[in-house]
Amino acid sequence: MREEHYYRLLNFVEHGLKLADPQIAHILDRALDGKEIDTQECIILLKEDRPLELNLIKMTADFLRWTVCDDIVTFVVNRNINFTNICILRCKFCAFSRPVGHPEGYVLSMDDIRKKVREAISFGSTEVCVQGAINPDLDFEYYIKLLKTIKEEAPWIHIHAFSPQEVYYLSVKSGLSIEEVLKTLRESGLDTMPGTAAEILSDDVRKIICPGKISTEKWIEIIKTAHRLGIRTSATIMYGHVENFEHIANHLKIIREIQKETRGFTEFVLLPFVHYRTELAKMPECRPGSTGMFDAKLCAVSRIFLYKYVKNIQVSWVKLGRRLAQLLLSWGANDLGGTLIEENISHPAGATETTFLTPREFIYMIREAGKIPAERTTVYKILKVYR
């Protein structure tokens, strides 16, 4: 029945393309044939706002999702561990970090880490996601000890940890090469890495929103090195601030080109800018976050642009809210991320969603969207399908 539904959908799209703007119809027709769209075509789709054409973009993305993922929508049972919020970078979009000496600054002890890992185990987590700010008082030994402490407490649990920014910091701090840092982290227990600190992969944008962070070139170098060493990563985009359509299209192209070369990305994650309590939001050139319509459109265009190369498109229920995240399951997304248990990044910036979703809530959301829920591992091995 589901297969029949999607071929009826394809037939509907093909009829709709005859009525649509010829330029949009040509791009979507090529996408349905499995051909790559280029950055200029990506920009054309991102700019589109006419009802017929928007619906055809949506349905094309939905059909392409089905061809690679069936109707399975996944989630992972995990917990976040943010081990420090003391940071020297002071990115303008961040409301989580605190400067050195701030009374609200913290560093988790190894006892704190053990406690959080035990909580994760008691909840049935298969993953801990570990990230922190760039704290000048923490040396490489802290990071190694953190990984080993987690593995001592739960040898089987998957550690998804440390952004490219953190890897670069450890390289500078220790005097070791990027490759040597990654090898040491892997030997200490690291399994995969989040591809965060990407924000928008354009140095023009990065100079405005995060001038202290690594360059686009350095982010690419670290990600490729991790992939070459067998450390898989996610890929992310944070949008809805000062970037334009061209920046987004070029960002997607960078992700696609890396994936063609390494096949190391597990997923592409859409992260709308949560702006309410950030310094960046006060700048006149900054938009006040994204709109729901653009969230949906970018989700669909990401699916179309990355088709055949990045199988999994993840939407952040924390940043989007559960209702919009659920809606995007019909705009090309096939993953809702993790249970989290705690969330310390989006909420200080003004996110109002809960910090924790149970597997039961995920299952309900996915079924109500007409899809089939499934629990997965970090690297997208299906553990259980809830038919």
User: Domain of 200: which CATH number?
Assistant: 3.20.20.70
Domain range for 8: 2-68
* Ramachandran assignment for 190, one of left (phi > 0), alpha (psi -120 to 50 degrees), beta (any other): beta
**Model pTM?**
0.95
Q: What's the pLDDT at 343?
A: 53
Q: What's the pLDDT at 347?
A: 46
* Ramachandran assignment for 213, one of left (phi > 0), alpha (psi -120 to 50 degrees), beta (any other): beta
Q: Are residue 340 and residue 368 in the same domain, yes or no?
A: yes
Task: Quick: pLDDT tens for 349-376.
Answer: 444 455 689 999 999 999 999 999 999 9
Q: What's the pLDDT at 158?
A: 98
Question: What residue type is 351 in one-letter code?
Answer: A
Task: Quick: pLDDT tens for 195-232.
Answer: 999 999 999 999 999 999 999 999 999 999 999 999 99
Number of domains into which the chain is organized: 2
Q: What's the pLDDT at 346?
A: 53
Last residue of a domain, one of 68, 85, 109: 68
Q: What's the pLDDT at 344?
A: 54
Q: Are residue 50 and residue 159 in the same domain, yes or no?
A: no
Could you tell me the two tokens for 243?
């970037």
Q: Are residue 305 and residue 344 in the same domain, yes or no?
A: yes
Q: Beta strand 372-376 with 382-385: parallel, antiparallel or unpaired? A: antiparallel
Q: Are residue 63 and residue 99 in the same domain, yes or no?
A: no
Q: Are residue 8 and residue 109 in the same domain, yes or no?
A: no
Last residue of a domain, one of 11, 42, 68: 68
Q: Are residue 20 and residue 77 in the same domain, yes or no?
A: no
Local mean pLDDT, 10-residue blocks, the chain (387 residues)? 89 95 98 97 98 98 97 97 95 91 97 97 96 97 98 98 98 98 98 98 97 97 98 98 98 98 98 86 90 98 98 96 96 96 57 72 97 98 96
Write the CA distances from 56 to 22, 97, 307, 338, integer angstroms: 12, 41, 16, 30
Q: Rounded to whole angstroms, how far apart are CA atoms 216 and 210?
A: 12
Q: Are residue 62 and residue 121 in the same domain, yes or no?
A: no
Q: What's the pLDDT at 351?
A: 42
Q: What's the pLDDT at 340?
A: 86
- Strand partners of residue 84: 107
Q: Are residue 239 and residue 342 in the same domain, yes or no?
A: yes
Write the CA distances from 320 to 196, 289, 299, 336, integer angstroms: 17, 11, 12, 11
> Rounded to a whole number, what is the distance in angstroms from the first to the last CA of the chain?
14
Q: What's the pLDDT at 245?
A: 98
Q: Are residue 59 and residue 83 in the same domain, yes or no?
A: no
Last residue of a domain, one of 12, 46, 68: 68
Q: Rounded to whole angstroms, how far apart are CA atoms 281 and 99?
A: 19
Q: Are residue 127 and residue 17 in the same domain, yes or no?
A: no
Q: Are residue 84 and residue 187 in the same domain, yes or no?
A: yes
Q: Are residue 275 and residue 331 in the same domain, yes or no?
A: yes
Residue 135 near residue 106, CB atoms below 8 Å: no
